[in-house]
Structure 1
Amino acid sequence: MKNLSILFSTLAFVGVLALFGLRMSEHKSGATQGAADKEQSTNTDTRGRIAYVNIDSLEARYEYLKNKKADFEERKKGMSNELERSQRQFQQDYQSAERKAQAGTLTEAEYQSTAKRLQQMKQSLEAREAALTEKLLAEQDEFNKDLQQRLDNFLADYNKDKHYDYILSYSKSVGLIMLVNEELDITDEVVAGMNELYAKEATKENKDTKKKNK
C-alpha cells in the first residue's frame, strides 16, 4: 500500500489554494476619460489598487473547504481500512501456505494451485490499490477545479466595488512573497463573504433535501 500511503500524506489543500495566484481585475478605465481623470488615476495610492489574501488563513477558516477536507479524510480512511483488511487476509493465506509447504503437507498440485491463488490475490490487491489511488486523485482534481471556480467567481463579484488591479495570494509556506503590508490584507472580507455564500448554499440544499424526503 506504499503508493496510497504516499498519496494520503501529500493531499494537502494548501496546494489547491496556491492556484489562487494573481487575479487581474475586470475594471478598466473608460476610453472617454478626460486628462484630469487620467492624472488622478496615475497619482492614486497603490494601496488602493493592490490587495492580497492570506491563503493559510483562508484554508483554516473557509467552512466549505474545511467540510470538504473532513469528507475527503473520511473516504481516505475507509479506503485505507479496506486495503489493510485485504492485506491482512493475503498475509494470513501466505503464511498458512508457507507453513504447509515447510511441513511437507502440500502435494505438488496443491502447491501449484496455492501459488497461483496467492499470485492472483496479490495482483488483485495491487489493482485495487491503484484504482483507489486513481479515484482519490480524480476527486482531488475535481475539487481543485470547483474551488478555483468559487474563488474566481467570488473575487470577480467582490472586485466590482473595490476596483483592485491585482489581488495576490500570500502564504508563509510558499515563499514567493517575502514581505507584505498588512494594510493590504483583505482575507477577513474574503473569508466572511465566501462563508456567507456557502451558508446560503447549505441552507438551500437542506431545504431541497427535506422537500424530496416528504
Structure 2
Amino acid sequence: MKHLSTILSVIALALIAVLFYFQFANKKPHTEVHAGPAEKDNSFKMAYFDIDSLQNNYQYYKDALDELKTKEQSMNNELQSLEKSYQRKIQEWQQRGSSMSQSEAEAANREYQQMQANYQQRRGMLEQQIGNLQMEKRKNIKEKIEAFLKDYNKDRKYAYIISYEPELMFYKDSAYDITGDLIKGLNAGYQPIKK
C-alpha cells in the first residue's frame, strides 16, 4: 500500500500525457476568434487532489491498510510458528547426534529438506495471498475514487482531475484543490464492515 500514491500518480501522469496528445495533436493552427456571449466557455480547467491527504483521511483506505497489516501479522505469526517447530525438530536431531544410525541420519536429512521445501512453499503462498489482497484493495480504492470523481465532475467543470504528489508537480493553484470534497464524499459513501 505504501506504493499506492506513486502508482496512482504515475497512472495520472500517463493519462495526462495521452490526453494532452489527443487535445493538441490534431489541432489546426489557432486563429484568434473573439467569443460572443452565446458561445460556450472553452476554458481549460484542471483540478487536483492531494494523494497523501486522501491516504491519511479516507476511512476505507485506512481500513484497507489495517486489514493488510493484520494479514501480514498473521502470515508472520504462522511462519514463525513453523520455524519454531522446525527448530525443535533440528534440536532433537542434534541431541541424538552420533547415536543416530546411518539410515536415521539419512531420514532426518530427507525430512529436513522436506521441511525447508514446505516452509518456502507456504511462505510463497502466503506472500501471494497478501500481494493479491494488496492489488484488490488498490483496485477498489482507484475504482471508488474514479466513480466519485465522475459524479463530482458530471457538469464537466474540469477537463482533468489529477492526484498531486510533491515530487511530480511543480506548481499548483489551491483554488483547484478538491481534496476536501473528495475525502468528504468518499467517506460519506463508505460503510465500514462491523466486526
Scaled by the length of structure 1, what TM-score is found?
Answer: 0.73
2:108 is the alignment partner of 1:114: yes
User: 1:154-205 CA distances to partner (integer Å, 9 max, x unpaired)?
Assistant: 0000001352001111123xx221222222211001100111111xx44xx7
TM-aligned CA distance change 1:195 to 1:57, over 3 Å: same
Cα RMSD, aligned residues only: 2.6
TM-aligned CA distance change 1:75 to 1:100, over 3 Å: same
Deviation at 1:40, TM superposition (A): 5.8
TM-aligned CA distance change 1:186 to 1:108, over 3 Å: same
Q: Percent identity?
A: 27
Indicate the residue corresponding to 2:9 in structure 1.
18
Matches within 5 A, 1:30-179: 36=36, 41-42=41-42, 44=43, 46=44, 49-101=45-97, 104-161=98-155, 163-172=157-166, 175-179=167-171
TM-aligned CA distance change 1:180 to 1:128, over 3 Å: same
The whole-number CA distance in structure 1 between the counterparts of 2:135 and 2:70 is 17
Mapped contact 1:20–1:148 kept (Cα < 8 A):
no
Deviation at 1:15, TM superposition (A): 4.2
Deviation at 1:13, TM superposition (A): 3.9
Aligned length: 177
User: 1:5-59 CA distances to partner (integer Å, 9 max, x unpaired)?
Assistant: xxxxx754434543661577xxxxxxxxxx52686624x4x5xx11100000000
Indicate the residue corresponding to 1:194 in structure 2.
186
User: Helix, strand or coil for the counterpart of 2:171?
Assistant: coil
Mapped contact 1:20–1:151 kept (Cα < 8 A):
no
2:175 is the alignment partner of 1:183: yes
Mapped contact 1:19–1:148 kept (Cα < 8 A):
no
TM-aligned CA distance change 1:20 to 1:188, over 3 Å: farther
User: Helix, strand or coil for the counterpart of 1:169?
Assistant: strand
The whole-number CA distance in structure 1 between the counterparts of 2:156 and 2:178 is 11
The whole-number CA distance in structure 1 between the counterparts of 2:189 and 2:59 is 10
User: 1:80-119 CA distances to partner (integer Å, 9 max, x unpaired)?
Assistant: 1000110122122223313422xx1111111111111111
Kindly indicate which of the two structures has a greater share of residues assigned to helix.
1
The whole-number CA distance in structure 2 between the counterparts of 1:171 and 1:105 is 65
Scaled by the length of structure 2, what TM-score is found?
Answer: 0.80
Unpaired segments ≥5 residues, structure 1 = 1-9, 25-34, 210-214
Letter in 2 for 1:131: M
Letter in 2 for 1:135: Q
User: Helix, strand or coil for the counterpart of 2:49?
Assistant: strand
